[in-house]
Amino acid sequence: MSGGAATAQVPPKVTARARRRRGAPKSFDRPRFLRVFAALVYLFLFAPILIVVLFSFNSQKSLTVMDGLSLQWYEAFLSDPVLRESLFASLQIATVTMVIGTILGTMLAIGLVRSRARWSPGLNILMLIPLVTPEIVAGISALLIFWQLGVKLSIFTVMLAHITFSISYVAIVVRGRLATMGSEAEEAAMDLGATRLGSVRLVLLPGLWPAIVAAGLLVFALSFDDFVLSFFTTGDDVQPLPVRVWSAIRFGVSPTINATGTLMMVVSLTTIALAVMLPRLFGRRESAIKVLTGQEGG
């Protein structure tokens, strides 16, 4: 009886504090070598990128000796009409791919999730094939198709290849978001008089907007940096920037290449920043990056 009374008299705050202390990780639960290991991994991942960025500001034409800072290689890049045309071509290809690929991929995701046909599970698996197919196989396949159809290789064929490859990426991201939303809001909108298309426009698309933005920006970055598909489907006109860089490297590595790689990385990082900021600028709580990585619920 006395033991039970003593236990009953223990303040709840003390009990909660004791539980937190028991559950807190001890020093041996967090070995220091894990921090060192994580630091080495990040160093291995980012050191080559930092070296490229650093030597893009080198004042002399050297890839091994750093002698002062200068913007001459960026000026050389911007003053080269061939590289400028390739940069604009890559931006054009990535923008068209982002717009068309996002629209088609979103429509595909909605159809796969909302369809109740027996063949829907099979189509969901079939959609994953472009993601696991080696990109060189996709590039050769696109090249053969264009040859057999008699289509001349150009920026247009590069866009078609990139759009075809990007649809699955968009569908995967949007489908993951759509699967967590349910169809109750759409059914309620139709009960209130909205048509099927109206419920999609007024209810479904606003809820999918963070995932659509994230998927579109992902496709833009993938298309802008893509080399394999661009290499197999580009023609005699202006080459995309990754293909132009590869052509220049065959004749020797110049510090201008470092400036080009740094500018391409800046474009990719800008798309990530836009993915984070755009939903919040328009009053949405969701982060498009969290939606893209599957951390955002419905």
> Residue 252 has which token pair?
């020797």
> Domain extents for the chain?
2-55, 79-292
Q: Compute CA distances 49 → 58, 200, 280, whole Å.
A: 15, 43, 30
Q: Identify the CATH number of the domain defined by range 79-292.
A: 1.10.3720.10
- From the number of C-beta atoms within 10 Å of its C-beta (0-12, 13-18, 19+), residue 157 rates as buried
Residues belonging to the chain: 298
pLDDT tens for the chain, residues 1 to 298: 444 444 445 455 545 555 555 555 555 556 677 888 888 999 998 888 888 888 888 877 777 777 778 888 888 888 888 888 999 999 999 999 999 999 999 988 888 877 766 776 777 777 778 888 888 898 999 999 999 998 999 899 999 999 998 998 898 888 877 877 766 666 676 766 667 677 776 677 777 787 888 888 889 988 998 999 999 999 887 889 899 888 888 777 777 888 888 888 888 888 877 777 766 665 555 555 555 555 554 4
Beta bridge partners of 294: none
> Residue 160 has which token pair?
């078609």
SS3 of the chain: the string is CHHHHHHHCCCHHHHHHHHHHHHCCCHHHCCHHHHHHHHHHHHHHHHHHHHHHHHCCECCCCCCCCCCECCHHHHHHHHCHHHHHHHHHHHHHHHHHHHHHHHHHHHHHHHHHHCCCCCHHHHHHHCCHHHHCCHHHHHHHHHHHHHHHCCCCCHHHHHHHHHHHHHHHHHHHHHHHHHCCCCHHHHHHHHCCCCHHHHHHHHHHHHHHHHHHHHHHHHHHHHHHCCHHHHHHCCCCCCCHHHHHHHHHCCCCCHHHHHHHHHHHHHHHHHHHHHHHHHHHCCCCCCHHHHHCCCCCC
Rounded distance, CA 254 to CA 251, Å?
A: 9
Sign of the alpha-carbon torsion through 237, 241, 246, 250: positive
pTM of the predicted protein model: 0.76
Say which residue the tokens 């990139």 belong to: 162
Contacts of 239 (CB under 8 A, 6+ apart): 86, 89, 230, 247
